[in-house]
Chain A
Amino acid sequence: MINLPLLPILIPLLAAVILMLFPKHIAAQRVISIVTAIATIIASAVLVAAVKQNGILTVNLGSWPAPYGIPLVSDMLSALLVLTTSIIVLFVLWYAIYYSDREYESYFFYISVLFLLVGLNGAFTTGDIFNLFVFFEVFLISSYLLIVLGGKKGQLRESIKYVLINVISSALFVAAVAYLYAVVGSLNMADISQRIEALNEPGIISVIGIFFLIVFGLKGAIFPLYFWLPGSYHAPPIPVLALFGALLTKVGIYAIMRTFSLFFYQDGGYVHIVLGALALLTVIIGSIGALAYRDVKMIIIYNIIIAVGVILYGVAVMTPDGLEGAIFYLLHDMVIKAALFLLVGIMMAIAGSSHLKDMGGMIRDYPWIGWTYFIGALSLAGIPPLSGFIGKLLIVRGGFAAGDMIGPLLILISSLVVLYSAMKIFTNGFWGTPREYHGAKAHLATRLWVPAAALILIAIAYGVGAEAVRPFITQAVEPLVNPAIYIDAVLKE
């Protein structure tokens, strides 16, 4: 089956198109979207196994040989991200079925989630820089619909900001691609990498590198381009927020990883120094936000920003250890952020508010939810047997190996902040004096807990089974450290 890398994109696309024919049949929408998500997981799991066995897989769409056609390239990194994305989408859909009301669901909710999945899987898989832009737009336009769906006042206000900022960053993306195309004359990422090496003009390439950093930084919310994120992510309902928080910023990170390992490695690391500095500032800003708020959504939202900084620091040091840690942490963070947003959503459903002053003593009535959240919080902070540990350990080791002292220490201190902010929710929300809750959705708590707990279980398995996951991650790092592997796989013959 030579089209295997395509299946995680094609399956949700086909399902979304079919679902568009009957948007008002809620039962059919639910069943088909869940089945689609499961099928996508199976396809991407097969893909991961195939990449493990055969190395990088490529499909030249339309049978046009690279670099003339558009190749889809599945190396281990993109295959793992596709698998993780599909898993998260499944559990968030499951949660959304209980959480959303029928009115909400009948306005193309499942369809836009599936299109979001198409865009994300496509962005992770493509080997063409302009095709990457197109897939960015596919998931961004789905996200515009998801952020505004429901039409509450806050959503309308924040969606205007969100759309505005993303339209600007997309225009910058096109301009950056135009510059790159004018300099190297190719859009195929492997071909660009080769030509940049032959060109040997580090000045202009550094400028384009910074340009790409601004573009992907706007998508991935790094300092000082993160300003739109807290407000925009506070607006949409919890399932949408879980999708956004777990997935959208991570595409920006993936794009930075891909372009910085393939394109901008020539100039003695100037671009990487900038990236490292910005990553550390991102960690600091995120930490300040996570400490400052007493709103459960906001605390987790600022934790996204911290994680973005930590991962990008791992990318910036460019040692195998740092990159391996970055990938470990990236996969962990996607799963755990989705799980935490879902759990925080349950707390909000019970209390009918997102502020900590309206919560307290939930552990009496909802012990399972409390302890699940507790494990999730420990895992987020990186307590050893759990999933956040190994990634951060490798990033810190990579930082020290690169001769940097400040970065790793900052990341270790930020772990304390993460732990404190997550435990703030636990101690204030679950401990303390129990009170009466009149949340409109409190009766759903147990049903909502199941998908969230399943994600936490996956996170635990990922942490405990790090030894089993490690070979996959090691394989994912190879093309990042040595771009020649990637180039040879795409431009074979």
Chain B
Amino acid sequence: MKKTNDVILQTVTKIISFIIILFSIHLFFAGHYTPGGGFIGGLMTAAALVLLLLSYDIKTMNKILPFDYKRMTAIGLLIAVLTAAGALLFNVPFFTHAYDYFDIPLLGETSLHTAVLFDIGVYLVVIGITMTIIQTIGESE
């Protein structure tokens, strides 16, 4: 294969992928009050990773982000299931969430909700699945 010089693509990717990841995290945390949430946030993060994959290659990708994406899916599912199952400890119906207001330095009074934990699970599952699919197809000959 001819070796091409992707210096423009790679330089732009370094900046853009950061912006995309920041935007995806914003979408993730904004999900409770505005459009967004775990699914779209996860997809957007995965899109940033795919952009990295496009401008570099799978080997470099595995070196800078050494994640096992199948395991990431499993951990995401585990977080989601355990969040929902946490209700069992308090003998209330499965999936009953709890929330309260906390005074957090920098952010001030913020409401923290266990639904965020569930969403983190969704977020990880979406990234894990998307990356597993893309890497598997990319690697198979």
Chain B residues with CB under 8 A of A1: 91
Chain B residues with CB under 8 A of A13: 81
- Interface: A100 (CB within 8 A): no
Which of A10, A18, A62 is the one whose CB lies under 8 Å from B96?
Answer: A62
Chain B residues with CB under 8 A of A20: 70-71, 73-74, 77
Chain B residues with CB under 8 A of A10: 81, 85, 88, 94
- Interface: A59 (CB within 8 A): yes
Chain A residues 263 to 299 lying within 8 A of chain B, measured CB to CB, are: none
> How far is A18 from B75 in the complex, measured between Cα atoms in Å?
8
For B97, give the chain A residue with the smallest CB separation: A62
Q: What count of chain B residues pass the 8 Å CB interface test?
A: 18
Q: B91 to A63, Cβ gap below 8 A? A: no
Q: B96 to A17, Cβ gap below 8 A? A: no
> How far is A3 from B71 in the complex, measured between Cα atoms in Å?
29
B50-76 Cβ-contact flags toward A at 8 Å (1 or 0): 000000000000000000001101110
Q: A61 to B74, Cβ gap below 8 A? A: no
> How far is A60 from B73 in the complex, measured between Cα atoms in Å?
28
Chain A residues 1 to 29 lying within 8 A of chain B, measured CB to CB, are: 1-3, 6, 10, 13-14, 17-18, 20-21, 23
Q: A61 to B93, Cβ gap below 8 A? A: yes
Chain A residues with CB under 8 A of B29: none
How many chain A residues sit at the interface, stated as a range, is: 10 to 19
> How far is A484 from B70 in the complex, measured between Cα atoms in Å?
47
- Interface: B16 (CB within 8 A): no
Known contacts being A20-B70, A21-B71, is A14 close to B81, with CB within 8 Å? Answer: yes
Q: B88 to A3, Cβ gap below 8 A? A: yes
- Interface: B92 (CB within 8 A): yes
Known contacts being A3-B88, A10-B85, A14-B85, is A62 close to B93, with CB within 8 Å? Answer: yes
Which of B81, B92, B93, B95 is the one whose CB lies under 8 Å from A17?
Answer: B81
Q: B77 to A61, Cβ gap below 8 A? A: no
> How far is A59 from B95 in the complex, measured between Cα atoms in Å?
11
For A10, give the chain B residue with the smallest CB separation: B85
Chain A residues with CB under 8 A of B75: 21
For A23, give the chain B residue with the smallest CB separation: B70
Q: Can you list 17 A-B pairs with a CB-CB distance of less than 8 A?
A: A1-B91, A2-B91, A2-B92, A3-B93, A10-B88, A13-B81, A14-B81, A14-B85, A17-B81, A18-B74, A20-B70, A20-B73, A21-B74, A21-B75, A59-B93, A62-B93, A63-B93
Interface of A toward B, CB cutoff 8 Å: 1-3, 6, 10, 13-14, 17-18, 20-21, 23, 59-63
Interface of B toward A, CB cutoff 8 Å: 70-71, 73-75, 77-78, 81, 85, 87-88, 91-97
